[in-house]
């Protein structure tokens, strides 16, 4: 996978006292160019991205690093950990904030993983992208990039963890989700709402900065495979029976409603929970996994009693990210269980 060198980009500066913002580009729709057959693919470099937004010259001094230039579906957690090391490596320089641009398909996962890994980073880290590519009327990439830099350059954004800025809304990585395949308002935070907005050229937050300590407190030298399985009407245990055979070291199950599965899958889940962490999430996309509301076979209370771990407020995607990083940091089963409990306190 090709990586690119960091390069200084000359843009008009109104004053040398402007904040210094690092822009790290990964590709995606925001960087798309025509392929010649009516479609698009990531092809714009970071220099061209900021050249398309001349207003940036009045906001910050920008340094560009082309980290990747690929669709976001091709990114891996290994890439994200390398990205986190790049961001951490800036701690000693004069950088006031970091903006990451990437495709929106996996943006919520990248932002959440960065939020877990960069717990000690005091400067703002903002992730953004685009829903409309640059060839379309009303492309939102330039506006999102400008808003993201305005947030990253704001001292008010510090201490809030990794942020996602899309459509002039500021979301915490902990809660944000992509909820639409094409709308420019695709990103929402179902359980919390946005924590701020970008208005009249500046970040405005709805509450004072607060961030719980990260449950991930160890380095992550490797990323083991973790499966994500969604329960569906009429499901059985055939897929579950292959999880361990295929070499997965952890499993996240997206159950119905508040955390329920068909009774036909109970035995397989019980066996798996004896050999690996099995996390129970809800497939609904909003709300929490309950703990003691239902009592039938395959209900949340039944599954938790069998050793499954509650995802709490986390959906399946974020549960998989957290479990992958915990296992990569060599947390044992009891420590994984405690980490999910602590995250949801």
Both tokens assigned to 332? 């044992």
Beta carbons of 228 and 254 less than 8 angstroms apart: yes
Q: Identify which of 230, 246, 242, 224 has the alpha carbon closest to the alpha carbon of residue 281.
A: 230
CA distance 186 to 162: 18
Question: Exposed, middle or buried, 214 (CB in 10 Å: 0-12/13-18/19+)?
Answer: middle
CA distance 116 to 213: 9
- Tell me the CA distances in angstroms from 307 to 23, 299, 300, 310, 333, one per residue in order: 43, 13, 11, 10, 10
CA distance 292 to 295: 7
Longest dimension (CA), the chain: 67
Catalytic residue (one of 25, 29, 188, 265): 29
Both tokens assigned to 147? 């808003």
Q: What's the Rg (C-alpha) of the chain?
A: 21
CA distance 128 to 49: 13
Question: Exposed, middle or buried, 28 (CB in 10 Å: 0-12/13-18/19+)?
Answer: buried
| 29 part of the active site | yes
Active site residues: 29
């Amino acid at each position: 996978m090709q990586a690119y060198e960091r390069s200084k980009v000359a843009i008009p500066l109104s004053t040398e006292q402007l904040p210094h913002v690092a822009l790290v580009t990964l590709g995606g729709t925001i960087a798309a160019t025509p392929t010649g057959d009516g479609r698009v693919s990531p092809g714009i470099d970071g220099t061209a991205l900021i050249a398309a937004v001349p207003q940036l010259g009045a906001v910050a001094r920008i340094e560009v690093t082309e980290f990747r230039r690929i669709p976001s579906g091709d990114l891996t957690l290994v890439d994200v950990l390398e990205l986190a090391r790049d961001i951490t490596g800036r701690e000693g320089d004069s950088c006031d904030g970091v903006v990451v641009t990437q495709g929106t398909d996996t943006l919520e996962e990248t932002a959440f993983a960065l939020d877990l890994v960069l717990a000690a980073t005091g400067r703002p880290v903002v992730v953004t992208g685009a829903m409309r590519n640059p060839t379309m009327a009303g492309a939102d990439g330039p506006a999102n990039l400008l808003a993201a830099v305005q947030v990253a350059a704001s001292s008010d954004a510090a201490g809030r963890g990794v942020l996602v800025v899309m459509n002039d809304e500021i979301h915490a990585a902990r809660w944000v989700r992509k909820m639409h395949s094409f709308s420019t308002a695709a990103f929402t935070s179902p359980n919390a709402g946005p924590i701020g907005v970008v208005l009249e050229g500046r970040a405005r937050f709805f509450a004072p900065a607060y961030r719980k300590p990260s449950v991930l407190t160890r380095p992550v030298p490797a990323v083991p495979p973790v499966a994500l399985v969604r329960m569906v009407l009429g499901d059985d245990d055939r897929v579950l029976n292959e999880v361990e055979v295929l070499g997965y070291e952890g499993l996240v199950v997206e159950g119905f409603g508040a955390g329920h599965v068909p009774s036909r899958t109970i035995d397989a889940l019980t066996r798996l929970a004896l050999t690996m962490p099995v996390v129970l999430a809800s497939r609904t996309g909003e709300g929490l996994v309950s703990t003691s509301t239902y009592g039938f076979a395959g209900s949340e209370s039944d599954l938790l009693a069998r050793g499954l771990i509650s995802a709490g407020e986390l959906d399946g995607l974020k549960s998989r990210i957290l479990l992958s990083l915990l296992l990569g940091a060599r947390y044992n089963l009891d420590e994984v269980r405690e980490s999910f409990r602590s995250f949801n306190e």
